[in-house]
């Protein structure tokens, strides 16, 4: 079986992980190794240049080396008749859960207030909202959203809601679905967590109207994709004090330009798209299992819907 690695990332740890999990596979690196396009059976791809995957005429599946597939789907030559598989990996999930739990607790326990007080050498204690009454709303209630909700509920956050395209039946979580439910979802949300994929339907979905529906003093955490947020609207809502603080890992332009106003705002926390990072060892264990399933004639659960775009 022949694999082609098409990614700007270092192939060395991937080669080692492929050897460990698929000992007999031949691993070629696009841009480094020679290969006959007709010989490649599986592609391991992250943000590939358009046209590379379209040349692989005997490809059986494309494995995206991350959860978000928008970069892959931009390639008009992408083969559409084979499974395109997004990464659903326990390590990727636990990384995201840690990131979101961190910021939820940060805002919930007034850490920005205490940071400001420290800067002024001010010793003042404030009472804090109980976790069971703090209302968390997760925009994008998929793999990562559900795992995050479970972790937060285990910490006592009982008022949990998830918004998705289709309605969910998840224990302890109020389900909101589609545009018709968005307003009522936002109105009951104190901390908004965005874990949406980038599609035509999610672009700038967090906009001035969204902020207007959130209660005054709400917080925003975005670790899905930057394109979901209208930056001008968020800056206006932050400056007006309607949104109290934001933690942002993903941006419309990455790297975030040095002159972007987010960098200078005391109530905005910027991280460089690190909420969760794919690790070759964990990812290859999942991908190797999926390749075995396909070789045995099985069907994969995490194939991307080309129609929905995620």
Q: How far, rounded to the nearest angstrom, does the alpha carbon of residue 186 sit from its chain's CA centroid?
A: 20
Closer Cβ to ligand OXD, 244 or 276, answer by number: 276
Look at residue 84 and give the partner it binds from ligand NDP, ligand OXD, none, a contact being a CB closer than 5 to 8 Å depending on partner kind: none
Contact (Cβ atoms closer than 8 angstroms) between residue 49 and residue 73: no
| Residue numbers 156-175 binding ligand NDP by CB under 6 A | 164-166
Q: Of residues 11, 48, 66, 137, which one binds ligand OXD by CB under 6 A?
A: 66
145 binds, among ligand OXD, ligand NDP, none (CB under 5 to 8 A by kind): ligand NDP
Contacts of 76 (CB under 8 A, 6+ apart): 50
Q: Tell me, residue by residue from 103 to 142, as one string, x for binding to ligand NDP by CB under 6 A and - for no binding.
A: -------------------------------------xxx
Which of 108, 134, 135, 225 lies at the binding interface for ligand NDP (CB under 6 A)?
225
Q: How far apart are CA 212 and CA 207, in angstroms?
A: 9
Among residues 21, 41, 134, 225, which one is catalytic? 225
CB nearer to ligand NDP: give 15 or 47: 47
Question: 264: number of CA atoms within 13 Å, CB side?
Answer: 7
User: Which residue reads 């789907």 in tokens?
Assistant: 73
By CB under 6 A, which span of 73-81, 211-219, 270-278, 291-299 interacts with ligand NDP?
270-278
Site for ligand NDP in 172-211 (CB under 6 A): 195-199, 201-202
Q: Largest Cα–Cα distance in the chain?
A: 69
DSSP 53: G
Pairwise CA distance, residues 298 & 61, whole Å: 12
Query: Is there a catalytic annotation at residue 116?
Result: no
Q: Which does 48 bind (CB under 5 to 8 A by kind): ligand OXD, ligand NDP, none?
A: none
* C-beta neighbour count of 36 within 10 angstroms: 10
Spell out where the chain has E strands: 2-6, 26-29, 42-45, 61-64, 84-85, 135-139, 159-164, 173-177, 191-194, 218-222, 243-248, 268-270
- Which residue among the candidates 91, 203, 213, 273 is catalytic per the annotation? 273
Q: Is 67 in the site for ligand OXD (CB under 6 A)?
A: yes
Torsion angle of the four alpha carbons 24, 29, 34, 37, in this order, in degrees rounded to the nearest 10? 80
Q: Least CB distance from residue 282 to ligand NDP, whole Å?
A: 13
Q: Which residue is nearest to ligand OXD, using beta carbons?
A: 66
Instruction: Kindly state the helix (H) or strand (E) to which residue 105 belongs, with its residue range.
Output: helix 90-108
> What would the two tokens of residue 93 be?
């999930």
Query: Among this protein's residues, is 242 annotated catalytic?
Result: no
Selected range binding ligand OXD among 65-73, 170-178, 233-241, 262-270, rule: CB under 6 A: 65-73
Residues numbered 68-97 forming contacts with ligand OXD, rule: CB under 6 A: 68
DSSP state of 265: -
Looking at the Cβ atoms of 67 and 151, the one nearer to ligand OXD is 67
Hey, how many other C-beta atoms are within 10 angstroms of the C-beta on 111?
14
**Residues of the shown chain interacting with ligand NDP in the complex, contacts defined by CB under 6 A:** 67-68, 88, 92, 96, 140-145, 164-166, 195-199, 201-202, 223-225, 249-250, 273, 275-276, 310
> Catalytic residue positions?
225, 273
**Residues of the shown chain interacting with ligand OXD in the complex, contacts defined by CB under 6 A:** 66-68, 278
């Amino acid at each position: 079986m022949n694999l082609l690695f098409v990614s700007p990332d270092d192939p060395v740890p991937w080669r080692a992980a492929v050897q460990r999990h698929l000992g007999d596979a031949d691993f070629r690196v696009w841009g480094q190794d020679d290969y006959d396009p007709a010989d490649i059976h599986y592609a391991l791809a992250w943000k590939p240049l358009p046209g590379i995957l379209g040349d692989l005429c005997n490809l059986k599946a494309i494995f995206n080396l991350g959860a978000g597939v928008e970069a892959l789907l931009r390639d008009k030559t992408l083969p559409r008749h084979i499974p395109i598989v997004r990464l659903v990996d326990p390590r990727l999930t636990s990384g995201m859960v840690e990131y979101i739990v961190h910021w939820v607790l940060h805002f919930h326990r007034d850490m920005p207030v205490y940071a400001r007080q420290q800067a002024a050498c001010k010793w003042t204690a404030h009472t804090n909202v109980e976790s069971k009454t703090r209302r968390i709303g997760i925009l994008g209630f998929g793999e990562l959203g559900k795992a995050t909700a479970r972790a937060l509920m285990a910490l006592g956050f009982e008022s949990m809601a998830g918004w998705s395209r289709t309605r969910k039946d998840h224990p302890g979580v109020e389900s909101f679905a589609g545009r018709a439910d968005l307003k009522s979802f936002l109105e009951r949300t104190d901390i908004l967590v965005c874990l949406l994929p980038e599609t035509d339907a999610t672009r700038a979905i967090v906009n001035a109207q969204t902020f207007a529906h959130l209660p005054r003093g709400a917080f925003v955490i975005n670790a899905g994709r930057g394109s979901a947020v209208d930056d001008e609207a968020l800056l206006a809502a932050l400056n007006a004090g309607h949104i109290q603080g934001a933690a942002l890992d993903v941006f419309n332009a990455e790297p975030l330009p040095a002159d972007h106003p987010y960098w200078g705002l005391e109530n905005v926390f910027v991280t460089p798209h690190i909420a969760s990072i794919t690790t070759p060892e964990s990812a290859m264990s999942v991908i190797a299992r999926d390749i075995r399933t396909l070789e045995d004639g099985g069907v994969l659960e995490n194939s991307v819907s080309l129609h929905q775009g995620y």
